[in-house]
Amino acid sequence: MSAPITLISLVVAMIAFRFMPHPENVAPIGAFALMGGLFLNRRWALAVPLLALVLSDLVLNSQMGYSALHAPRLLDYGAFLIIGMAGLAIRNQGWKLQFGGAVAVPLFFYAVSNFGVWLTGLGLSGQPYAKSFAGLVECYVAGLPFLRGTMLGDWGFMVLFAGVMALAAAGSHAGRSAVTFRN
């Protein structure tokens, strides 16, 4: 399979997963942002995960009654770009740093996305969060149930993606044709 077809397949798979029934906040986006930085060609490492997120958000936001590009999501997009850039930065730094990056992804996204909710969103009561330290704490506490799904999704999909990449590398070392993702 050629690299462009494989990349398109990854985007389609990520988008499809977001539309399939799944546990709350269990999604491949954070995992793919980091793994894209670790494994994909530098030219595609940031663009491919973000493309999958934006394309699926266009439809999901419309289904939820938001504008196609929901402004509060821009902070989330920024978080995913930073995660991808972190992947690029640690791609040659050894497994310990890469493992630490993997552990940090859902925690970083939780911190950034809940800060965005506090700035722009509504609390569980349907009212905006107070723009105070107490309101920020309330927002982070309200987001804790979502953190579990984010951790499960990010870490599970990271293991899956790393396994696929290891199999592809093993296939290329065995003399079979495999896709080259990195440069």
**pLDDT tens track for 126-135:** 788 999 999 9
pLDDT in tens, 115-149: 998 998 777 677 889 999 999 999 999 999 999 99
Q: What is the pLDDT of residue 176?
A: 43
Evaluate whether residue 32 is within a structural domain.
yes
Evaluate whether residue 178 is within a structural domain.
no
b (16+ CB within 10 A) / e for 121-145: eeeeeeeebeeeeeebebbbebbee
Evaluate whether residue 98 is within a structural domain.
yes
Q: What is the pLDDT of residue 54?
A: 86
Evaluate whether residue 181 is within a structural domain.
no
For the ranges 18-22, 37-41, 98-102, 107-111, which has the lowest average pLDDT? Answer: 18-22
Evaluate whether residue 36 is within a structural domain.
yes
Q: What is the pLDDT of residue 19?
A: 81
CB 80 within 8 A of CB 33: yes
Domain region containing 36: 3-173
Residue in the structure block whose two tokens are 């690299």: 3
| 69 three-class SS | coil
In sequence order, which ranges of 20-132 are alpha helices (DSSP H)?
Answer: 29-39, 47-63, 73-90, 95-120
Across 54-58, 65-69, 102-106, the highest mean pLDDT is recorded for 102-106
Q: Closest by alpha carbon to 56, among 46, 67, 47, 68?
A: 68
- pTM metric for this prediction: 0.83
Q: Closest by alpha carbon to 172, among 182, 180, 160?
A: 180
In total, how many domains does the chain have? 1
Evaluate whether residue 24 is within a structural domain.
yes
CB 95 within 8 A of CB 21: no
Evaluate whether residue 81 is within a structural domain.
yes
Residue 4 has pLDDT above 70, yes or no: no
Evaluate whether residue 131 is within a structural domain.
yes
Q: Closest by alpha carbon to 1, among 137, 171, 125, 133?
A: 171
User: Cα separation of 171 and 99, whole Å?
Assistant: 24
The helix (H) or strand (E) run that includes residue 140 is: helix 133-173
CB atoms within 10 A of CB 152: 15
Q: What is the pLDDT of residue 178?
A: 41
CB 28 within 8 A of CB 152: no
Residue of 12 and 7 predicted with greater confidence: 12
Write the burial class of residue 46 (CB in 10 Å: 0-12 exposed, 13-18 middle, 19+ buried): buried
Residue of 172 and 27 predicted with greater confidence: 27
